[in-house]
Structure 1
Amino acid sequence: MPAVQHMKWYGWGVEGVSFHHEDKPALRPFVQEIIDLDLATPPKPRTQLSDLDIPAPRISPELHAALVAVVGVDNAVDEDEDRIVHTYGKSIRDLMRLRGNDLPRVPDVVVYPADEDEVQQVVDAAIAADAVLIPFGGGSNIAGSLQAPEDETRPVISLDLGRLTKLLDVDEEAGLARIQAGALGPDLEAQLNARGWTLGHFPDSFTHSTLGGWVATRSSGMQSDKYGDIADITRGLRMVMPGRVLVLRGLPSTSTGPSVREMVLGSEGRLGVITEVTVQVHRIPEERVILGYLFPSFEAGVAAMQEISTSDASPSVTRVSDAGETRFSFSTRKKSKGVSVSGLVSKGLFKVLERRGWDLDAVCLSFVGYEGGPDHVRRQKAIVKKIIGQHGGILLGKGPGELYDQKKFDTPYIRDFLLDRGAAADVSETAAPWSQLVPMYENVTAAARKAFAQIGVQGWVMCHLSHSYHSGACLYFTFAFRHDDQEPLARYDVVKSAIQQAFIDTHGTLSHHHGVGTEHAPWLEQDISPAGVQIMEGLFAGVDPGRNLNPGKITVTPPTSRA
């Protein structure tokens, strides 16, 4: 078996890393209050791999032999655990189905090609055998982009790019780097940093996601305000298609008809297998700092972020949490000394703010990041401080930003911890114009609360604004409720659907950076119009008439009986 590290099959991250609450004394009462769950509740017995009814591989000896001939016997794997790891992504639905032994279609074989030539041979062998081929990067997807269709009767091949991880070249004058698509975020950054460069792309899934996966799902990162999202960062690429390779050179701009680069971005494996990406990179900044601020209301924070987006400031991060997410952040403070949320807002400061007329239940925590030379950073901070002050906000200092940096990749572990104790927690994100953001926020939170009432649970919904643009921003919602194993997926669908529909009804998009997959496909036609869906379907059919390349994603509505 190849030396490719995967996340644990039943949850997020690697074995031995998990969330615990004992060092966060305020978190247990907070969660008890918001969803009526005691974090001290012992976890349910974990489903073991041996408990799963894993179907035998459905692959002919001829196809298996053809794949072995390409990648070698050690790199064509049909062992149960490897097949299960490649069955789903890491959405809450995926994990519930895995733990519930719901395995309608497991990949028949996992192949690990060593280079683009082997990828081409695997793709061509799959097409010749009329098999289904699903590209696999880090397995972090939460939009249902990795599983085979439930009724698929053809052989299913999972093509894992975990051996294609190298930084191939850096054009020092152009600031362009060629990187293999299977490189995970930390490995990619380490290779670039060693040569004095950074990609600047840090999605929540950074630790366990790949460059190719970012391109295939149109990823955004926490510092997209400065560096752009992956669509801005990607200047060229190589993608293996049946019988040929698409080659897009790394160019600053082109005027060559409809953008083929844009067609590949967000295509989720339906057009081919991305093997290499040419990205724009930046010199590691001399200085990097994230400062914390406090606003009297979410509306004030949104207004400040809008003004910052059109000012002379160019921050790397602009984020403001609503009151609910702010309470959550405060509840995660640790008992230990040093940087902690307890240092964010002292009791004395709260008293001062209360005397000023602040509603302490409405305060909102904000983070703004700055990068560059000392003079540049100083100017940016001064511009932002003035704008934030004009909207009633105050500066908290570096402590909150340092804490944010420490915790920014930890949230999925909390989700798994809750799942072990009979609660569901998930996220949905959208983007909308500045004029629609506050109405969007109000409509989505109202829709979520109505859905909680409909399914008869005490639920929680919170939100933050991030990824500011000239015309609007992203709103990122997190919701949770306790289900106690009573129809968890059916109840989850009610809440998730209510939130997604509220996005569309309030002039937002179905997703800002998590892709479409199967999870968001039901709203695609409302998002881009029937004509837009027709164009997409024509593209996919033209490239892949046999529906061999990750079929059922993006444009095909998933089965209605999903519970």
Structure 2
Amino acid sequence: MVEHMKWWGWGQEGVAFHHEDKPGLAPFALKMAGIDFNAPPVQVPELSDLTVPPSQAPDALRAAFAGAVGAEHVHDDDLDRVVHAYGKSMRDLVRIRRGDFGRLPDLVVYPGTEAETEAALRVALEADAVLIPFGGGSNIVGSLEAPREETRPVVSLDMGRMRLLLSLDETSQTARIQAGALGPDLEDQLNARGWTIGHFPDSFKHSTLGGWIATRSSGMQSDRFGDIADITRAVRVVTPYGVVATAEVPVQSAGPSVREMVLGSEGRLGIITEATVQVHRQAEERVIQAYFFPDYASGLKAMHDIAASDASPSITRVSDAMETQFTLATSKKGSALGQLLNKGVQLYASKRKGFDLSQMCLSFIGYEGSALHVRRTKALVGEIVKKHGGFGVGSGPGTLYDQKKFDTPYIRDFILDRGAYGDVSETSSSWATLKTVHDNVVAAAQKAFAEVGIKGFVFCHLSHSYHSGACQYFTFAFQPPTDRDGLEAYDVVKGAIQQAFIDNGGTLSHHHAVGREHKRWIEEDLSPAGARIVGSLFAGVDPGRNLNPGAVVD
């Protein structure tokens, strides 16, 4: 009953990105990064043609887990183990297509209740096995893989059977939901009763409530509903010391927050089984408007003023010039987004507004709530956009963006099929440093491309606004060199981007978490003393390093 993504890529079998109906995209990719969209795709190997290391689980351990959750919920077949070996980062996809499976889990165990989760953890501790919680498998920072040198049995604990809305408190506007609920699972159950959680990350269709909490996720409408840290009011977590159950209250003063400790813990403290979250009545009206700004600096200033105003939009997003060109290049011929390229819009922007079309930046701003609230917020935002030289182009492009917002990750598989690499990194910083962070990260990426001797592009958008700053989300892609391993080039580029975050006042991640990919920057981000506190917390709860060892800090 638990559905998984493809073992070799993002999303469901049979769903893929296509460029033939987007006439501007292939020329853009070829010009900016030397990526030939018309090249014959690299064939993904059949799993049966790869050598999958056999399970090392002793029969006694398999029997013990069967006793805990039922024999039918303990798996050791090749496909299940491979699916649970990695997340979905570019590095993960390259390795898995090569048949480099790392330290595969020996067993995949599916508990159906909190009691079964407790029993499974006891089995793992008694056998000195490694236990790695698994939600939807969408993680892109290495939070799901076991250390390659691990000699103990490795078990992936898949929470996918636990996906129910347990209760809804309409007076308090909270809901208790099991941690294994995928985004569509919990929204379908809430929507049927007129409610929503309002949390929509890019990975929404393939990520879980427990995964959102374990990685401190953010969603596309976090400007209105808050990040998952704001949404989560209480948690239940199975730990070596028993079940942690925090109070279902709006705020408390009872020492350091245990709820906050669980947020971002990536399985190091235990297994999240359920959470109480804030929910909201479904909106009377919801619309996303598209705007253009003369340049990225103007767009950033507008987003700052919107955040400081009485307006309360659900989405504030503005792309830099390069991402704007990419977005327009991905539009279908004749589509609403494609109409933004028509001669009328170009003429108005260049002649009437004085825009340099090569620097023009696209923005999407969302409005949600009562008709009165939406009308008032749109008016306030419209004045701010006008103040910063921008102009609106209606809701048609915004509607298309809203419909396609979860499809972007499929593009990464498509370019990997053409031998090219692409990935994302995001950070948050203060309003005062946003433009500096942007410019220096782009420069660092371009320097890294030159260092490796490759052609590539990097672009960015502001995606979440706060009182004191915002998140900037960077995407990069390149054609790897022919004289060295592509992952080596990837490490140079990704490392340069991450280091530029830290060097310019940003954080190592805004919402993708730490995992193993980012932990080399944890001391620079938290300070050595802060990283030591986090490590001491993990060691105190899990002295045997049985719970996802190696994630976040060593």
Decide: shared fold, TM above 0.5: yes
Which residue in the other structure is 1:537 paired with?
535
User: Tell me, what secondary structure is at the counterpart of 1:359?
Assistant: coil
- Mapping 1:158-177, distance limit 5 Å: 158-177=156-175
Which residue in the other structure is 2:128 paired with?
130
- Mapping 1:226-237, distance limit 5 Å: 226-237=224-235
Asked if structure 1 preserves the Cα contact closer than 8 Å seen for 2:453 and 2:481, the reply is: no
CA distance in 2, matches of 1:349, 1:82: 51
Which residue in the other structure is 1:527 paired with?
525
Task: Please report how far the alpha carbon of residue 477 of structure 1 lies from its aligned counterpart in structure 2 after TM superposition.
Answer: 0.3
- Indicate yes or no: 2:340 matched with 1:344: yes
Asked if structure 2 preserves the Cα contact closer than 8 Å seen for 1:176 and 1:250, the reply is: no
Which residue in the other structure is 1:320 paired with?
318
Asked if structure 1 preserves the Cα contact closer than 8 Å seen for 2:502 and 2:524, the reply is: yes
Task: Please report how far the alpha carbon of residue 118 of structure 1 lies from its aligned counterpart in structure 2 after TM superposition.
Answer: 0.3
Asked if structure 2 preserves the Cα contact closer than 8 Å seen for 1:218 and 1:229, the reply is: yes
- Indicate yes or no: 2:430 matched with 1:433: yes
- Mapping 1:94-105, distance limit 5 Å: 94-105=92-103
User: Tell me, what secondary structure is at the counterpart of 2:7?
Assistant: coil
Task: Please report how far the alpha carbon of residue 201 of structure 1 lies from its aligned counterpart in structure 2 after TM superposition.
Answer: 0.1
User: Which piece of structure 1 moves more, 498-507 or 97-106?
Assistant: 97-106
User: Tell me, what secondary structure is at the counterpart of 2:238?
Assistant: strand
Which of 278, 281, 290 aligns to 2:288? It is 290
CA distance in 2, matches of 1:243, 1:432: 37
Give the letter for the 1:346 counterpart: N
Give the letter for the 1:451 counterpart: A
- Indicate yes or no: 2:453 matched with 1:456: yes
Which residue in the other structure is 1:384 paired with?
381
Which residue in the other structure is 2:495 paired with?
497
Which residue in the other structure is 1:419 paired with?
416
Task: Please report how far the alpha carbon of residue 249 of structure 1 lies from its aligned counterpart in structure 2 after TM superposition.
Answer: 2.3
User: Tell me, what secondary structure is at the counterpart of 2:374?
Assistant: helix
Which residue in the other structure is 1:217 paired with?
215
CA distance in 2, matches of 1:221, 1:555: 25
Task: Please report how far the alpha carbon of residue 198 of structure 1 lies from its aligned counterpart in structure 2 after TM superposition.
Answer: 0.3
CA distance in 2, matches of 1:210, 1:279: 13
Which residue in the other structure is 1:561 paired with?
none
Task: Please report how far the alpha carbon of residue 59 of structure 1 lies from its aligned counterpart in structure 2 after TM superposition.
Answer: 1.5
CA distance in 2, matches of 1:142, 1:128: 31
CA distance in 2, matches of 1:286, 1:343: 28
Give the letter for the 1:320 counterpart: V
Give the letter for the 1:480 counterpart: A
Task: Please report how far the alpha carbon of residue 243 of structure 1 lies from its aligned counterpart in structure 2 after TM superposition.
Answer: 4.6
Task: Please report how far the alpha carbon of residue 163 of structure 1 lies from its aligned counterpart in structure 2 after TM superposition.
Answer: 0.3
Which residue in the other structure is 2:189 paired with?
191
Aligned residues: 552
Which residue in the other structure is 1:443 paired with?
440
User: 1:445-493 CA deviation, whole Å, 9 max, x = no partner?
Assistant: 0000000000111110000001100000001000000116641100000
CA distance in 2, matches of 1:14, 1:537: 37
CA distance in 2, matches of 1:131, 1:349: 62
CA distance in 1, matches of 2:496, 2:210: 31
Task: Please report how far the alpha carbon of residue 36 of structure 1 lies from its aligned counterpart in structure 2 after TM superposition.
Answer: 1.1
User: Tell me, what secondary structure is at the counterpart of 1:467?
Assistant: strand
Which of 472, 480, 483 aligns to 1:483? It is 480
Give the letter for the 1:498 counterpart: A
User: Which piece of structure 1 moves more, 348-357 or 183-192?
Assistant: 348-357
Task: Please report how far the alpha carbon of residue 403 of structure 1 lies from its aligned counterpart in structure 2 after TM superposition.
Answer: 1.3
Which residue in the other structure is 1:399 paired with?
396
Asked if structure 2 preserves the Cα contact closer than 8 Å seen for 1:203 and 1:220, the reply is: yes
Which residue in the other structure is 1:560 paired with?
none
CA distance in 1, matches of 2:57, 2:346: 65
Give the letter for the 2:367 counterpart: Y
User: 1:168-190 CA deviation, whole Å, 9 max, x = no partner?
Assistant: 00001000000000000011100
Task: Please report how far the alpha carbon of residue 334 of structure 1 lies from its aligned counterpart in structure 2 after TM superposition.
Answer: 1.0
User: Tell me, what secondary structure is at the counterpart of 1:152?
Assistant: coil
CA distance in 1, matches of 2:100, 2:473: 29
Asked if structure 1 preserves the Cα contact closer than 8 Å seen for 2:454 and 2:481, the reply is: no
CA distance in 1, matches of 2:241, 2:47: 38
Asked if structure 1 preserves the Cα contact closer than 8 Å seen for 2:85 and 2:102, the reply is: no
CA distance in 1, matches of 2:403, 2:170: 31
User: 1:433-456 CA deviation, whole Å, 9 max, x = no partner?
Assistant: 000000000000000000000011
Structural RMSD (CA): 0.9
Which of 86, 89, 98 aligns to 1:88? It is 86
Asked if structure 2 preserves the Cα contact closer than 8 Å seen for 1:124 and 1:243, the reply is: no
CA distance in 1, matches of 2:259, 2:340: 44
What percentage of aligned pairs have identical amino acids?
62
Asked if structure 2 preserves the Cα contact closer than 8 Å seen for 1:317 and 1:367, the reply is: yes
Asked if structure 2 preserves the Cα contact closer than 8 Å seen for 1:120 and 1:243, the reply is: no
CA distance in 2, matches of 1:213, 1:484: 35
User: Which piece of structure 1 moves more, 34-43 or 359-368?
Assistant: 34-43
CA distance in 2, matches of 1:350, 1:20: 27
Asked if structure 1 preserves the Cα contact closer than 8 Å seen for 2:481 and 2:489, the reply is: no
Give the letter for the 1:128 counterpart: E
In the alignment, structure 1 segments of 5+ residues that lack a partner are: 557-563
User: 1:488-537 CA deviation, whole Å, 9 max, x = no partner?
Assistant: 10000000000000000000000000000000000010001001011001
CA distance in 2, matches of 1:219, 1:34: 31
Asked if structure 1 preserves the Cα contact closer than 8 Å seen for 2:191 and 2:282, the reply is: yes
Which residue in the other structure is 1:201 paired with?
199
Task: Please report how far the alpha carbon of residue 72 of structure 1 lies from its aligned counterpart in structure 2 after TM superposition.
Answer: 1.5
User: Which piece of structure 1 moves more, 476-485 or 81-90?
Assistant: 476-485
Give the letter for the 2:477 counterpart: A
Task: Please report how far the alpha carbon of residue 346 of structure 1 lies from its aligned counterpart in structure 2 after TM superposition.
Answer: 2.7
Which residue in the other structure is 2:276 paired with?
278
TM-score when normalising by structure 1:
0.97
User: Which piece of structure 1 moves more, 346-355 or 502-511?
Assistant: 346-355
Asked if structure 2 preserves the Cα contact closer than 8 Å seen for 1:264 and 1:271, the reply is: yes
CA distance in 2, matches of 1:504, 1:74: 47
